[in-house]
Structure 1
Amino acid sequence: LIADLTSLVRFANLDPIAGEFWVNEAWLSSANSGDDRLALVDRLKTSPYSSKYVDDREKRLADSQVDPLAKSGWSALLVIAFVAALVTSAVGFLV
Structure 2
Amino acid sequence: MKFALTNSNLEIHLVLFAAIILVAALIGFLIGKRKVNQLNKRILDVEDEMLQSNNEVLRYAEINKQLTETLEKAKIPLPSIEKHKEEEEKLRSIPLEKIG
TM-score by length of 2: 0.33
Larger helix fraction of residues:
2
More relative contact order, 1 or 2 (CA 8 Å, 6+ apart): 1
TM-score by length of 1: 0.34
Whichever of the two has the greater Rg, that structure is: 2
